[in-house]
Amino acid sequence: METPLLLTDKQVQEFLINGYLILQPISLDRNFHSSIFTEVQSIFQQDANPGNNILPRIPQLQYVFDDPVIKGALVSLLGSNYTMQPHRHAHATHPGTPDQTWHKDSYFGYRKPLRHHQLRYTMAMYYPQDTTIEMGPTAIIPRSQYDVKHPKMYSHSETLENPNTTSDDHDISLVCAAGTVLLVHYDIVHRGTANLTNLLHRYMFKFQFTRLEEPTQPTWNHDPTNASYDAADAGLLQPIVKHVWNWMIGRIITLQELTTDQDINMWKAQLSDHCGKIRLNAAYNLALNNEYNILIQQLYKNKEIPRFEAAYALTACRYNKEAIDELQAVLTREENNEPIAYCIAFIFFEMGSAALDTLPLLIHNIEKSHSYLVKQYCCEALGTIQVNEQHYIDTVVSCLTNVLADRDQLEDPKEASHMRFTAALSLAKLGVKAIQAIPSLKEALYLDKNRYVNANALLALKRIGTNEALKIVLHYLEMSRWCAKTTAASLY
């Protein structure tokens, strides 16, 4: 396999600001892309959309993601040990297909109200044919990835936007050559546009990727002289991009300089602005100046938009022990107040190991809370708050395996299965530290009725990597192997 071609500082910065990169594989020629197009067209004409099984149905698709340019971009943005998500999809836009509505992708159809400003998920869209404007290319809205509720997705009453103002955001349509890969921040606003042709079919393969390890240093082609990037070119997104950049290079954030009381008062007032980008800008600037109390007060708002904006910004207070202590105190008081409790669990999850002292409280909520959302975000936190002391490791792994084993095959709410596949993913993030979870992961792999629990259990066993774990992985894969050559027209 060729050495990945890592992104430059400028490319990473552009991705953090605009939410996308347009890439072209260098190891694959037009004949390869043409063969993929022919294959997918045959599948749609003779069989049906294989859904998550599109990769074993067309195994050659893996070559796209092994290409040095594509792999290098994924390593740069998600770290060297990222994983491809088990959910993937082939999209077909047939002649006469209308515009989709503007949307952000769900997390496989599961409820996850708080998304991720810190770069944990990306999505790659691969186009095996030349795509013209008439064929219905993907359209995206650059810089929309951090918005809680974008005006093109919701009514003014839902977004808090002023109905008399127009958004400066513009959309672009990806007219592209065969082989192009559009790599986007998972939460960018996008849609498929109308296919205005009479005969041409437009295909796109969507694959999703996830970070498994918290960043400690840059994983791209970083020039150390650029470490103190202030994101001045990001406009209103400046404090968000600056925070995420510092997180990705493993840099401890210091207080912003030259801030005045007038600045603080202005940002506090802007928390009620009609423009979402102005509100987020203000919230992050307050967080980066350790004005966390006003943001914690925002968590008590009735509307979820100010709560979410405050929660995102409070993740930037990871190096402020007083802020973490106060958030712990609030969660202790409000553990039965679901909207506040899951926001704080999310904050600790995003803070990672800086929130180590919160582990006992998180485990308590997993064991005692009646809210699936609270438990789900607490389970996620156990995967990012990396511990090294054996006592802590045993406690965390025991808690996650208890969640994984808590399944009712007769009555299994979607929220419960979501919690289990979150627990399995957190065990995968722990890697070999989760060795005592092998029996529970084996049971989840073979017995759980949820496909994503199975997939994340398989990933966790692979990441644990002992002989015992890998024997289970190999046995399961031999048993469940998909033959790409077996179709409705060729059964044996």
Model pLDDT for residues 478-490, shown as the tens digit of each residue: 999 888 888 878 8
Among candidates 222, 229, 141, 153, which has minimal Cα distance to 185?
Answer: 141
CATH number, domain 249-480, options 3.40.50.1010, 3.30.43.10, 1.25.10.10, 3.30.750.24: 1.25.10.10
| Domain 9-210: CATH superfamily, name plus number | q2cbj1_9rhob like domain (2.60.120.620)
pLDDT above 70 coverage of the chain, percent: 96
Mean pLDDT of 240-250: 96
Check residue 487 and give its pLDDT: 80
Check residue 480 and give its pLDDT: 93
Per-residue exposure over 231-244, b if at least 16 CB sit within 10 Å of its own CB, e if not: beebebbbbbbbbb
Which has more confidence, 80 or 255?
80
Asked if pLDDT for residue 61 goes beyond 80, the answer is yes
pLDDT tens-place string over residues 144-180 = 999 998 888 877 667 777 666 666 679 999 999 999 9
Report yes or no: 398 and 427 within 8 Å, Cβ to Cβ: no
Report yes or no: 335 and 365 within 8 Å, Cβ to Cβ: yes
For CATH 2.60.120.620, the residue range(s) in the chain are 9-210
Check residue 232 and give its pLDDT: 93
Check residue 41 and give its pLDDT: 96
Q: Which residue has the tokens 């609270």?
A: 374
Report yes or no: 220 and 97 within 8 Å, Cβ to Cβ: no
Check residue 47 and give its pLDDT: 86
pLDDT tens-place string over residues 365-416 = 999 999 999 999 999 999 999 898 998 999 999 999 999 999 876 677 888 8
Check residue 259 and give its pLDDT: 83
Check residue 175 and give its pLDDT: 97
For CATH 1.25.10.10, the residue range(s) in the chain are 249-480
pLDDT tens-place string over residues 248-280 = 999 877 666 678 899 999 999 999 999 999 999
Check residue 155 and give its pLDDT: 72
Mean pLDDT of the chain: 94
